[in-house]
Amino acid sequence: MNRFAKSLLVAALVAVVGMAFRVSWNAQHDVARTVGADNIAAFLYPFVVDGLMALALVATLVLTGKDRTFALRVLAGYTAASLVLNYVHGLVPALRGGEARMQLADWAPANWALVLLATSLPVGAIFFGSDLVAKVLHHRTTHSADQDEANQSLTNRLGSDLQESTPEPPPTGTESPASESADPSPVVASEPVGVPVAEVEPVKSAEPPALRPVAAVESGPRRATGRVPESARTPRPTRTPDELLAEARLSTADWPDEKLTAEAIRKAVRTSSANGRLLRDALKAERAARVVVEAEAA
């Protein structure tokens, strides 16, 4: 959905909510006048009830876990209270206009319950509204701190992995064991795989038996000694954690959430499996934060 369609949808929602508030305002104003509120208090009474409903709805889009459940309960409670007041206003024709105090119901216990409900809603709005605002502000601060800590941890772990994977060069001025063991005497190459050693005839030489070269038999791969020549090194420079994260963010910009796996990111940016998992966690955290920001903006 493009930006224009979203703006049109939000504008239509605001218009519908505004018209619904006007309809509900009439009933709540008359009920407030009936229970003893003056003109100014009766005028502000609908803003207290329906306004807290709007605040609780916004809080449910921001909060998570137990705080979100608490906001949903406040929203459901005040919605039910507004529905009861509108129902009583429609059921008792004498309430329309709200010019004089009267009973909201013929049965005394029901009248007491309705008066208690109507008079306790403003007090509850003060308590629940303050609590919801505090939870939203605390949630935003905690979320930002957790995001910064996660990014710092990712940078430190990527940096430590890169440092461990980079071999330290030998001290300058020292000769490698390979150069020290260089010998002008001839060396017979090892036998190719699949050719029996017994079929190869020994090399005849006039040298004494003690000085004859002996074929070297390797039992495994030889360990690399000395400094690796510049021509044999990989041309790809060592990337910093921020460069890895930026390259992964650019490569996966149009990927869906299902494709955002550690193996796919590792292949895309050509890094290790550990870095792939760290990059996956960081990208998912960024997308989750982006969804929260877009929900707040909406």
Q: Answer with the residue of higher pLDDT: 283 or 152.
A: 283
Q: Which residues, 6 or more positions from 176, have their beta carbon under 8 angstroms from its beta carbon?
A: 170, 225, 226, 227
Terminal CA-CA length for the chain: 13
- pLDDT for 114-128, tens place per residue? 999 999 999 999 999
Section 59-88 average pLDDT: 93
pLDDT at 192 over 60: no
pLDDT bracket for residue 176 (50, 70, 90): very low
- Cβ–Cβ under 8 Å, residues 85 and 31: yes
Tell which residue, 257, 223, 62, has the closest CA to residue 141: 62
Tokens 């005839």 locate to: 201
Section 65-72 average pLDDT: 93
Domain boundaries, the chain: 3-120
pLDDT bracket for residue 198 (50, 70, 90): very low
pLDDT at 195 over 50: no
Residue 208 CA from chain centroid, whole number: 77
- What are the E-state strand segments in 96-141? none
pLDDT bracket for residue 211 (50, 70, 90): low
Query: What's the pTM?
Result: 0.47
CA distance 269 to 11: 42
- pLDDT for 154-174, tens place per residue? 666 665 555 555 555 555 554
Please give the mean pLDDT across all residues of the chain.
76
What is the percent of the chain where pLDDT is above 70?
65
Q: What is the pLDDT of residue 90?
A: 84
pLDDT bracket for residue 3 (50, 70, 90): confident
Question: Which DSSP string corresponds to 144-210?
Answer: HHHHHHHHHHHHHHHHHHHHHHSPPPPPTTPPPHHHHT--SS--PPPPPTTS-GGGSPPPP-SS-GG
Tokens 């955002």 locate to: 260
17: alpha, beta or left? (left if phi > 0; alpha if psi -120 to 50): alpha
Q: What is the pLDDT of residue 121?
A: 93
pLDDT at 179 over 60: no
CA distance 199 to 219: 20
CA distance 285 to 291: 10
Phi first, then psi: give them for residue 115, nearest 5 degrees.
Answer: -65, -40
Q: What is the pLDDT of residue 49?
A: 93
- pLDDT for 95-146, tens place per residue? 776 556 677 877 889 889 999 999 999 999 999 999 999 999 987 665 555 5
- pLDDT for 14-64, tens place per residue? 888 888 888 888 889 888 888 888 889 989 999 999 999 989 999 999 999
Q: Which residues, 6 or more positions from 282, have their beta carbon under 8 angstroms from its beta carbon?
A: 150, 151, 154, 245, 248
pLDDT at 286 over 60: yes
Q: What is the pLDDT of residue 27?
A: 86
Burial of residue 16 (number of CB atoms within 10 Å: 0-12, 13-18, 19+) = exposed
What is the percent of the chain where pLDDT is above 90?
20
- Cβ–Cβ under 8 Å, residues 45 and 124: no
Cβ atoms within 10 Å, residue 177: 10
Q: What is the pLDDT of residue 177?
A: 47
Section 195-204 average pLDDT: 49
Q: What tokens appear for 49 in the block? A: 């009830």
Cβ atoms within 10 Å, residue 84: 15
